[in-house]
Structure 1
Amino acid sequence: MTQPIAIFIGYDPRERASTNVLIDSLYQHSSVPLAITPLVTPQLEGQGLYRRERDPKQSTAFSFTRFLVPHLMGYQGWAIFMDCDMLARGDIAALWAQRDEQFAVQCVQHEHEPGETVKFLGEVQSAYPKKNWSSLMLLNCSRCTALSVDYVNSATGLELHRFHWLAGDHEIGALPEGWNHLVAVQDPAKADGAPLLHWTLGGPWFREQRTMGEGLAAEWFAARDDAFRLWD
């Protein structure tokens, strides 16, 4: 039997609702078994794997824990990392099928230059090259050995998110942008048929952003209601 797809989801206690809806949407659309692990910071701290102090520019609890995925995989095989503020509309197996051994990492290579200085809950919106590339990654773990526990705990945020731990950009493969559509950032027309939505500025699970993405917000609420509806 083929091993389940290993998926790690960034977890922030303020976004529990989005995490649960994302997990359900992944299961509902997947044609193959999944092994989903939320990256809960206190658990990683308890294992001695994460020991960073909170960075003032760190907008979520999982800003840096995502880079522990290769270690958690024993630097073997492939894994998917994704932010929790997403919604799957397509079969994640179709993303998994795009793994390419010539790359260490594959991601949607956005050209996102934020015009705002704050995002959800007043968190700082930082601008830097490769913004949002690390929010959805296909990781070829055997080629990510530079992401040791010590490195993840000592490197700067820019070194991590700009992939300075790779030999160069030639190790980063591009994925179709529909696999990380940035809601309320990219042209709304590009959301049509996009298999994965990403509320990078904050989503409808926050009271102040109930309508973020307009029709896409309604779609998220429909997915939430379906996930938690009671059966007779």
Structure 2
Amino acid sequence: MDRSLDIYIGWDSREPIAYEVAKSTILKNASIPVNVHPIVLQDLVDKGAYTRDVDPLASTEFTYSRFFTPYLAGYKGWALFCDCDFLFFSDVAELLQYRDESKAVACVKHDYQPKAGVKMDGKVQTTYPRKNWSSFMLFNCEHPSTRQLTPELINRESGAYLHRMQWAQDDEIGEIPTEWNWLEGWNEKPASGYPHAVHFTNGGPWFKDWQNVDYGDIWTKKALEIDPEFKPI
């Protein structure tokens, strides 16, 4: 099986530095060839692939466009999607062990019930079954269930259908350890070392007054290495 990995990261025009930090920390730790791509909503709109109406409850520009990952990968091989608000500490080569051809997708199966009603950027914090499962997905792009994720289906179906992974059977959803989608403010910190990937799901250090989150100092250091002029928004 191929020892490389295509990675697609959600890109949001309000927080481009978050994408750059996620990409940089993936590449720094990777021991295998990886190709990192931003999923830019406007690019999909310009191509005529994305035609959904604006959803007032969508918290990011990639709320729905994340499901274009298999399409963008040409429905070939395996591809990883993650939100932009990630900080990676481990080698994504470790994820290759979770590729199972019988599965359409693999993810961290959180039982996440957010406490706050509003995220740090003022967006509504909605609660729904399988919340955050879709923030880190390892797609088997050639699986019949995954191949259902055509632009037509993504533009037509509800957010619940897409994010709850109702396009796959329950036994086609594989599991990845929590450490790969470690939710800041929810999951318990490891006794030593770092999670494989920290997810600033409630808000990250790129927002004002939100620098005191776990691992926020490390994220900020990375951001300043990339952009010495970086300032929280």
Aligned AA (2:188): D
Q: Which runs of 5+ in 1 are unaligned?
A: none
Q: Is 2:148 aligned against 1:146?
A: yes
Q: How far did residue 190 of structure 1 move? A: 6.9
Indicate the structure with greater helix content: 1
Q: Distance in 1 between matches of 2:202 and 2:111?
A: 15
How much is the aligned-residue C-alpha RMSD, in angstroms? 1.6
Q: How far did residue 97 of structure 1 move? A: 3.1
After TM superposition, list the pairs within 5 Å mapping 1:72-111 onto structure 2: 72-111=72-111
Q: Distance in 1 between matches of 2:97 and 2:226?
A: 26
* TM-score between the two structures when normalised by the length of structure 1: 0.92
Q: SS of the residue aligned with 1:145?
A: helix
Matched residue, 1:163: 165
Matched residue, 1:67: 67
Q: SS of the residue aligned with 1:74?
A: coil
Give CA deviations for 1:137-160 in whole Å, capped at 9, x if unaligned: 100011201111111001110010
Matched residue, 1:54: 54
Counterparts in 2 of 1:173 and 1:225: CA distance versus 1, 3 Å: same
After TM superposition, list the pairs within 5 Å mapping 1:169-184 onto structure 2: 169-184=170-185
Give CA deviations for 1:90-110 in whole Å, capped at 9, x if unaligned: 001111232111211000000
Q: Distance in 2 between matches of 1:212 and 1:156?
A: 33
Q: Which runs of 5+ in 2 are unaligned?
A: 229-233
Q: Distance in 1 between matches of 2:114 and 2:205?
A: 20
* TM-score between the two structures when normalised by the length of structure 2: 0.92
Q: Distance in 2 between matches of 1:154 and 1:16?
A: 28
Q: How far did residue 191 of structure 1 move? A: 8.3
Q: Distance in 1 between matches of 2:10 and 2:33?
A: 20
Aligned AA (1:204): P
After TM superposition, list the pairs within 5 Å mapping 1:203-214 onto structure 2: 203-213=204-214
Give CA deviations for 1:114-162 in whole Å, capped at 9, x if unaligned: 1221112110111011000000010001120111111100111001000
- Count of aligned pairs: 225
Q: Percent identity?
A: 38
Q: Distance in 2 between matches of 1:151 and 1:207?
A: 38
Q: Distance in 1 between matches of 2:223 and 2:3?
A: 28
Q: Distance in 2 between matches of 1:120 and 1:75?
A: 35
Q: Distance in 1 between matches of 2:191 and 2:173?
A: 23
Q: Distance in 2 between matches of 1:175 and 1:188?
A: 18
After TM superposition, list the pairs within 5 Å mapping 1:20-35 onto structure 2: 20-35=20-35
Q: How far did residue 206 of structure 1 move? A: 1.0
Q: Is the 8 A contact 1:178 1:190 kept in 2?
A: no
Q: How far did residue 46 of structure 1 move? A: 0.8
Aligned AA (2:30): S
Q: Is the 8 A contact 1:118 1:125 kept in 2?
A: yes
Report which stretch shifted further, 61-70 or 202-211: 202-211
Q: How far did residue 184 of structure 1 move? A: 1.1
Q: SS of the residue aligned with 2:134?
A: helix
Q: Is the 8 A contact 2:3 2:96 kept in 1?
A: no
Q: How far did residue 192 of structure 1 move? A: 4.2
